[in-house]
Each structure stands twice: as structure tokens, then as C-alpha cells.
Amino acid sequence: MFFRVLYYDRLSSTNDRAKELALRGAPEGTVVLAAHQTKGRGQFERKWHSPRGAGLTFSIIVRPDRTPSQIPLITHFTAKSVAGLLLRRFSLNATLKRPNDVLVNQRKISGVLCETEVRQRQASSGFVVIGIGLNVNTSSKKLVKGATSIYNELNEKQDLGEVFREVLKEFSIQYKAFQNQRLKESQWIVQEEIA
């Protein structure tokens, strides 16, 4: 997948900005990245706390050729992409907690929020905005209760740009498989935490 990254120093929400762009015809692969979100949110309108420059907050626009009933799989494989990166790159044993959280040592390190626009009278989804928040260099004193970060786990700062590129690479692999229907739904399921 080709990614076109739009960087903002400050946004209220990367998902909101990405939705505006998608409605105006932004192509699949458009990514909205913000150094700081003032009103980041997760599932059920929960607030996503993201200190400036400490983590990654971004949204990806996709236009999958899938039925609306298949769209929830995107949340799952996106979280799986983040978990896979954490294991492969940092040797952090991440697990998934349905529907959209990535945990390390029982603490939340990442969240995924997918928002969909469905075409009227058509079987396919118009677009999906996938919001990803990942705690990278957030120190323990700036983490909310029950959260962790790569830095908190490894005591070593990471290059945000490098981690960002790696997440996009992992996501691209999973999304291509999803679009090509090479995997059955049962193959998307990975180890999960019980809520």
C-alpha cells in the first residue's frame, strides 16, 4: 500500500480530520499524523491521553472492497499488526483485548478506533478511518492508570519516526491479505485477554 502522510503539529482528533479528508475524496492510504491531539478518543468515546511528542497518534484512510459486516475484522488485524510489531521489534509479549486494545503485562499500550462510512444502497463500505494510538516514549509519571509504553517497559527511548514506519509496514501486510481474501475469518483470531 502506498501511504501519503499528512503531518500536523496539533489536532483535536486525527480520526476527525481523516474523516473530513475521506469525505472530500482523499485516497486510500492517506495517513493523518499529529504530534499532539487535544481531544483524542478511543472506543465508547473514552479519552485517549497522548502527551506531546511521546507517542504516536495517527489515522489511516482505507477504502476496502468488503461488505460492512466484514469491517470489524479491520479493528482486529490492525491491533494484531501493532502487537506483532511489539513482539518482533521489541520482544514485548503483547496480547489483544477485544475489541481494540493491545496490552503488555496486563497494561494498555495501544488502542485502535475504526469509524466507517457506508455507501447508501451499496454492499461495500465507502471508507474506514483507522485511528491508532501507541504509547512509545511516555514516561510512567505521564501514563494514565493501567497504561504502559515501550519506554516504560524497556527503559529506552525509541525513534518515533522509525516506530511509525514499522507500524505502517505491519499494517500494510495485514491489509493486503485482508483485501486479497487469502485468510479465512478464523485465521485472524489471535491470543486474547479476557475483559
Q: Tell me the CATH number at 86.
A: 3.30.930.10
**Full-model pTM:** 0.85
What domain count does the chain have? 1
Q: In angstroms, rounded to a whole number, what is the distance separating the alpha carbons of residues 32 and 16? A: 10
Residues forming a β-bridge with 37: 11
The helix/strand/coil state of 112 is: strand
Domain with 104 in it: 4-193
Residues forming a β-bridge with 170: none
pLDDT tens string for the chain (195 positions)?
Answer: 899 999 999 998 999 999 999 999 999 999 999 998 886 555 545 565 667 778 999 999 999 887 777 878 899 999 999 999 999 999 999 999 987 899 999 999 999 999 887 655 444 458 999 999 999 999 988 888 999 999 999 999 999 999 999 999 999 999 998 888 644 544 444 444 433
Kindly state the helix (H) or strand (E) to which residue 166 belongs, with its residue range. helix 160-180
